Amino acid sequence: MTMGRLDGKVAIVTGAGRGIGRAIALAFGTEGAQVVVASRTPSTVESVTAEIIAAGGEALGVTCDVAERAQIETMVSAAVDRFGHLDVLVNNAQGFGTATSPEGSPGYLPLEAFPEEVWDFTFQTGLKASLFAMQAAFPHLKEHGGKIINFGSGNGIGAMKGTGAYNATKEAIRSLTRTAAAEWGKHGICVNVLVPTIVTDSARDFLEQRPGIEEKLIAQIPLRRMGDVNTDIGPVAVFLASSDSNFITGQTIHVDGGQILRP
């Protein structure tokens, strides 16, 4: 029997119902991890959990709205109750719009008139959700070390116009990541950030709202393409979750075809 790179590891992936989160959850399952598939939509949780199990993996589906701290804490407790421990946390989920009117992408809102409710919901589901999940996971990771993978964005690094709240929360997550890496390294906890340029449903919605921007974006990418959600992001997440990355922490890793090199 072939050994997987994540055999014996228990991993939580938020926002795992679709897109990048789904790709990471499936990759983890293929590599032998026991995967907690967490997302807000029960149907997608069930679907991805079933995919992992059908492929011979082990998974637990947990419906979790990361806007609610209590649900995040329940998610972590469910993982430990089911599998006995926790090794990896992937904070991939991110909400847009507002709590009462969620949207699929950041949209475009000028900074001088940015709605407070959109700002608050973006931070609640981004920065604060990442922090709350990290705090809930910490007592379990502290016991034997572990890996935390957070998500930044090229929007924040490049100061994309019209997405001020998203830019700010993603840059704050990068700072949070470095802080956690500095404080928790003594416990053997590695904390890193992925910044992807990957085609997902959310990214597609974002690009369709801005005609012509996809062509301009691709022209700025040295590899001249957007990343594929199934082949370009999962393997990098597996690397960061595995023992191969035990001496890497506090880093921002760009899975962007070299987009960060643009002027």
Q: How confident is the model at residue 1 (pLDDT cuts 50, 70, 90)?
A: very low
Kindly tell me if the per-residue pLDDT of 201 is higher than 70.
yes
Averaged pLDDT for residues 243-257:
98
Strand 146-151 with 189-196, pairing: parallel
How far apart, in whole angstroms, are the C-alpha atoms of residue 133 and residue 37?
A: 14
- Catalytic residue (one of 28, 96, 166, 206): 166
Kindly tell me if the per-residue pLDDT of 92 is higher than 60.
yes
Q: Which of 30-34, 185-189, 196-200 has the lowest mean pLDDT?
A: 196-200
Q: Report the percent of the chain where pLDDT is more than 70.
A: 99
CB 39 within 8 A of CB 16: yes
Q: Is 108 a catalytic residue?
A: no
Architecture (CATH level 2) of domain 10-252: 3-Layer(aba) Sandwich (3.40)
- What digits encode the pLDDT tens for the residues 139-150? 999 999 999 999
pLDDT of residue 87: 98
pLDDT of residue 263: 67
Averaged pLDDT for residues 95-124:
94
Q: Could you state, in order of their start, the residue ranges of all structural domains in the chain?
A: 10-252
Reduced DSSP (H G I as helix, E B as strand, rest coil) percent helix, strand, coil of the chain, to 5: 50, 20, 35
Kindly tell me if the per-residue pLDDT of 65 is higher than 90.
yes
- What digits encode the pLDDT tens for the residues 135-182? 999 999 999 999 999 999 999 999 989 999 999 999 999 999 999 999
pLDDT of residue 206: 72
Three-class HEC string of the chain: CCCCCCCCCEEEEECCCCHHHHHHHHHHHHCCCEEEEEECCHHHHHHHHHHHHHCCCEEEEEECCCCCHHHHHHHHHHHHHHHCCCCEEECCCCCEECCCCEECCCCCECHHHCCHHHHHHHHHHHHHHHHHHHHHHHHHHCCCCEEEEEECCHHHHHCCCCEHHHHHHHHHHHHHHHHHHHHHHHHCEEEEEEEECEECHHHHHHHHCCCCHHHHHHHCCCCCCCEECCCCCHHHHHHHHCHHHCCCCCCEEEECCCHHHCC
CB 150 within 8 A of CB 91: yes
pLDDT greater at residue 189 or residue 202: 189
pLDDT of residue 2: 58
Q: How confident is the model at residue 209 (pLDDT cuts 50, 70, 90)?
A: confident
